[in-house]
Structure 1
Amino acid sequence: MTTFRELGLSESLLQSVESMGFEEATPIQAETIPHALQGKDIIGQAQTGTGKTAAFGLPLLDKVDTNKEAVQGIVIAPTRELAIQVGEELYKIGKHKRVRILPIYGGQDINRQIRALKKHPHIIVGTPGRILDHINRKTLRLQNVETVVLDEADEMLNMGFIEDIEAILTDVPETHQTLLFSATMPDPIRRIAERFMTEPQHIKVKAKEVTMPNIQQFYLEVQEKKKFDVLTRLLDIQSPELAIVFGRTKRRVDELSEALNLRGYAAEGIHGDLTQAKRMSVLRKFKEGAIEVLVATDVAARGLDISGVTHVYNFDIPQDPESYVHRIGRTGRAGKKGIAMLFVTPRESGQLKNIERTTKRKVDRMEAPTLDEALEGQQRLIAEKLQSTIQNENLSYYKRIAEEMLEENDSVTVVAAALKMMTKEPDTTPIALTSEPPVVSRGGGSKKRGGNGGGYRDGNRNRSRDGRGGGDGRNRDRNRDGRGGGDGRNRDRNRDGGSRGRKGEGQGRPGSSNGRGERKHHSRPQA
Structure 2
Amino acid sequence: MNEIKFSDLGLSETLLRSITDLGFEKPSDIQAEAIPVAIAGFDLIGQAQTGTGKTAAFGCGIINNITDKSVLNAVILAPTRELAIQVCEELKRISKHDRLNILPVYGGEPMQHQIRELKRNVNIVVGTPGRVLDHIKRGTLVLDTVKFLVLDEADEMLNMGFIDDLEDIIGRIPKERQTLLFSATMPAQIKRLAARYMKPDAKHIAIKANSLTVSKISQHFFEVNGKTRFEALCRILDFDNPTTSIIFCKTKRGVDEVVSGMQGRGYVVEGMHGDMSQAHRIRTLNKFKEGGLNFLVATDVAARGIDVDGITHVINYDLPQDVESYVHRIGRTGRANKEGIAYTLITPREQSMLKQIRNVTKAEITRKAIPTVEEIFATKSSSMIDEVQQIIEKKDFEKFVAVATELNEKFDSVDIIAALIKSQFKSDMASGYSDNALDSPKGEDVRLFISVGRRDGLTPKGLVSFIQETANVKPTAVGDIDILENFAFVNVTPDIQSKVMDTCIGQRLHNRKVNIEVANKRKR
Shorter-chain TM range is 0.5 to 0.7
Deviations 1:355-382 (A, max 9, x none): 9995574638899899887556557999
Q: 2: CA distance between counterparts of 1:103 and 1:61?
A: 16
Deviations 1:403-455 (A, max 9, x none): 99775149x9798566433236998747886998xxxxxxxxxxxxxxxxxxx
**Are the counterparts in 2 of residues 312 and 327 from structure 1 also a CA contact under 8 Å?**
no
Match of 1:468 in 2: 447
> Residue 15 and residue 435 in structure 1: after superposition, are their counterparts in 2 closer, same or farther (change >3 A)?
closer
Residue 408 of structure 1 pairs with residue 409 of structure 2: no
Alignment of 1:323-472 (within 5 A): 331-333=326-328, 336=332, 339=342, 358-359=359-360, 361=362, 363=364, 375=377, 407-409=402-404, 419-421=424-426, 422-423=428-429, 429=436, 466-472=445-451
- CA shift, 1:85, in A, is 3.9
- CA shift, 1:161, in A, is 3.9
Any idea what SS the aligned residue of 1:30 has? helix
Match of 1:134 in 2: 135
Any idea what SS the aligned residue of 1:59 has? helix
**Are the counterparts in 1 of residues 101 and 123 from structure 2 also a CA contact under 8 Å?**
yes
> Residue 312 and residue 11 in structure 1: after superposition, are their counterparts in 2 closer, same or farther (change >3 A)?
closer
The one-letter code sitting in structure 2 at the alignment partner of 1:64 is I
**Are the counterparts in 1 of residues 107 and 481 from structure 2 also a CA contact under 8 Å?**
no
Match of 2:490 in 1: 498
Any idea what SS the aligned residue of 2:447 has? coil
Match of 2:56 in 1: 54
Residue 71 of structure 1 pairs with residue 57 of structure 2: no
Q: 2: CA distance between counterparts of 1:101 and 1:364?
A: 34
- CA shift, 1:4, in A, is 0.6
Q: C-alpha root-mean-square deviation of aligned residues, in Å?
A: 5.7
The one-letter code sitting in structure 2 at the alignment partner of 1:97 is D
Deviations 1:477-524 (A, max 9, x none): 859xx9569xx9x9x9624981669943698988779x99599xxxxx
**Are the counterparts in 1 of residues 323 and 356 from structure 2 also a CA contact under 8 Å?**
no
Q: 2: CA distance between counterparts of 1:215 and 1:288?
A: 28
Q: 1: CA distance between counterparts of 2:214 and 2:188?
A: 26
- CA shift, 1:46, in A, is 2.7
Q: 1: CA distance between counterparts of 2:322 and 2:13?
A: 35
Deviations 1:8-28 (A, max 9, x none): 112232233223333421222
Q: 1: CA distance between counterparts of 2:161 and 2:94?
A: 31
Any idea what SS the aligned residue of 1:71 has? coil
- CA shift, 1:88, in A, is 3.6
- CA shift, 1:136, in A, is 0.9
Any idea what SS the aligned residue of 2:34 has? helix
**Are the counterparts in 1 of residues 449 and 490 from structure 2 also a CA contact under 8 Å?**
yes
> Residue 242 and residue 100 in structure 1: after superposition, are their counterparts in 2 closer, same or farther (change >3 A)?
same
Residue 176 of structure 1 pairs with residue 171 of structure 2: no
Match of 1:97 in 2: 98
Match of 2:205 in 1: 202
**Are the counterparts in 1 of residues 151 and 181 from structure 2 also a CA contact under 8 Å?**
yes
Match of 1:18 in 2: 20
Q: 1: CA distance between counterparts of 2:515 and 2:491?
A: 12
Which of 1 and 2 has greater Rg?
Answer: 2
> Residue 327 and residue 175 in structure 1: after superposition, are their counterparts in 2 closer, same or farther (change >3 A)?
closer
> Residue 63 and residue 368 in structure 1: after superposition, are their counterparts in 2 closer, same or farther (change >3 A)?
closer
**5+ residue gaps in structure 1?**
221-229, 245-281, 293-305, 314-323, 344-353, 384-401, 437-464, 520-527
**Are the counterparts in 1 of residues 48 and 54 from structure 2 also a CA contact under 8 Å?**
no
Alignment of 1:139-288 (within 5 A): 139-157=140-158, 160-183=161-184, 189=190, 192-198=193-199, 199-204=202-207, 206-208=209-211, 210=212, 216-217=218-219, 236-238=238-240
**Are the counterparts in 2 of residues 66 and 99 from structure 1 also a CA contact under 8 Å?**
no
> Residue 123 and residue 219 in structure 1: after superposition, are their counterparts in 2 closer, same or farther (change >3 A)?
closer
Any idea what SS the aligned residue of 1:14 has? helix
> Residue 466 and residue 65 in structure 1: after superposition, are their counterparts in 2 closer, same or farther (change >3 A)?
same
> Residue 236 and residue 468 in structure 1: after superposition, are their counterparts in 2 closer, same or farther (change >3 A)?
farther
The one-letter code sitting in structure 1 at the alignment partner of 2:148 is T
Deviations 1:154-184 (A, max 9, x none): 5545655443333212211234322233445
The one-letter code sitting in structure 2 at the alignment partner of 1:142 is L
Match of 1:392 in 2: none
The one-letter code sitting in structure 2 at the alignment partner of 1:207 is N
**5+ residue gaps in structure 2?**
223-231, 262-298, 304-312, 334-340, 347-354, 386-396, 406-415, 470-474, 483-488, 506-513
The one-letter code sitting in structure 2 at the alignment partner of 1:468 is R
- CA shift, 1:142, in A, is 1.5
Q: 1: CA distance between counterparts of 2:23 and 2:378?
A: 41
Any idea what SS the aligned residue of 1:498 has? strand
**Are the counterparts in 2 of residues 145 and 172 from structure 1 also a CA contact under 8 Å?**
yes
> Residue 431 and residue 45 in structure 1: after superposition, are their counterparts in 2 closer, same or farther (change >3 A)?
same
Q: 1: CA distance between counterparts of 2:358 and 2:85?
A: 32
**Are the counterparts in 2 of residues 73 and 124 from structure 1 also a CA contact under 8 Å?**
yes
> Residue 370 and residue 84 in structure 1: after superposition, are their counterparts in 2 closer, same or farther (change >3 A)?
closer
Q: 2: CA distance between counterparts of 1:326 and 1:10?
A: 24
- CA shift, 1:332, in A, is 3.8
Identity of aligned residues (%): 32
> Residue 367 and residue 66 in structure 1: after superposition, are their counterparts in 2 closer, same or farther (change >3 A)?
closer
The one-letter code sitting in structure 1 at the alignment partner of 2:497 is G
Alignment of 1:299-318 (within 5 A): 307=300, 310-311=314-315
Q: 1: CA distance between counterparts of 2:384 and 2:191?
A: 53
> Residue 128 and residue 202 in structure 1: after superposition, are their counterparts in 2 closer, same or farther (change >3 A)?
same
Q: 1: CA distance between counterparts of 2:164 and 2:219?
A: 37
- CA shift, 1:152, in A, is 3.7
Q: 2: CA distance between counterparts of 1:98 and 1:427?
A: 47
Question: Which protein has the bigger strand share?
Answer: 2
Q: 2: CA distance between counterparts of 1:101 and 1:163?
A: 25
**Are the counterparts in 1 of residues 449 and 519 from structure 2 also a CA contact under 8 Å?**
no
Q: 2: CA distance between counterparts of 1:139 and 1:41?
A: 28
Any idea what SS the aligned residue of 1:166 has? helix
